[in-house]
Structure 1
Amino acid sequence: CEAKAFVQAFHLENLLAKIVVSQPPWEVSSDLEKNISTYGATILLSSKLSAYKGSVPKQILYGILKKHRFDLAPGIEHNLANWGKVTHAVEEALTQLSAKFKKAADVLILPSADRKNIFQLTQDIAKGTQCEVNVLLCARVAFMRKSYIKDSSIKFWTTVDEDLVKIRQKADGDLKKVTKQVLLLGACTVYNFFCLVEPSATSSRLTASNTG
């Protein structure tokens, strides 16, 4: 009986091994790529983001993936090969989004007649994302625009991060103060736009944005 059980167990082990070997290598699904891109855009357009380059946005996105899982297999973080594909997808998505946002800001160097106001620029940047265009987002984009005017080179995002560092230093690292300062820097441009365009809708738009 013991010999028979041993043979059956050995046979079963061989069958399982064949199944594992026959499985195709795991790849990032199109649904997972879409979720990564969607959440990546939300992170990069957040008024609370402390840095655009480096590990900050990536770690936030990894945290979201680990929390919601989507179609990630249990324990995939411990499979270096497969998790490496996830990290590559995250890095690729954030790189593409950053390039898209900077490209949208390139209109600032066009002749004045072809330039876009802050609301139009924010619409272009938020296009294709699930982010609502409101005063908070316009203020963050206005802050980016100030950095862009100062440095539109490939070091643009480094300049944005450096400007954020200066604000954090003035705010002693207080996140609420940092967010408030960023909003104040862009508020003048944003509020002036809403006061000059569609004045009848200004009050309702600002109220909806501030209560959202």
Structure 2
Amino acid sequence: MTHPNSLDLEAFACGDSVAGVSAHLEACPECRAFVERARQLVASDAPRPPARRTTPRRFVVPLAAAALAAAAALLLVVRAPESETTFKGGTRLAVMRDRDGAQAWFTSSLSVQPGDQLRLEVALDHEQSVLGAIVGDDGSYLELLSAKTRPAGTHLSERSARVDATPLDATIVVGSDEAVDRARRLHRFDDVIHVRIRWEAAP
């Protein structure tokens, strides 16, 4: 199923008439839940979520990889529908940080606290195989965007990561399988798109 983009869903929740959204909501419980949540935020006079936000998530499952326990005790989230927006301009990476329901996007570096949830958005200007992962300074590794050939467009990572109370310093990397493997082994990021993660002590 092709889902409307988040901008159209938010506009519909705010009362705008958006072609095709109403009919889609009748058949898609995920998007209905997303719109309902947005309407509740508007009704309660809460700040409107940033325009670029993820599509609805389905459920959270615990991360079993023991190698990452020392890094962040991350949780995996089942994939959300991918965007189909196309663009030109190479490979681009943005990291969405959800902190207590407030979402913000970062393209060079970001800080994290316990409870933060991270998701990747990768934009491609041509079809190519890419992989996205978190490479911890301590050698830990977590794949968020599986390695496969993807068409031109914007793609959300199939998984997101939630940070626990263990301090986390790491780098999010996106690139070919070989480039990501080199970055993981050598901790050199010249051949990958990357965003730096720094630990921020909770207030």
TM > 0.5 fold call? no
Q: Whose RCO is larger (CA < 8 A, sep 6+)?
A: 1
Between structures 1 and 2, the one with greater helix share = 1
- TM-score, normalization: structure 1? 0.29
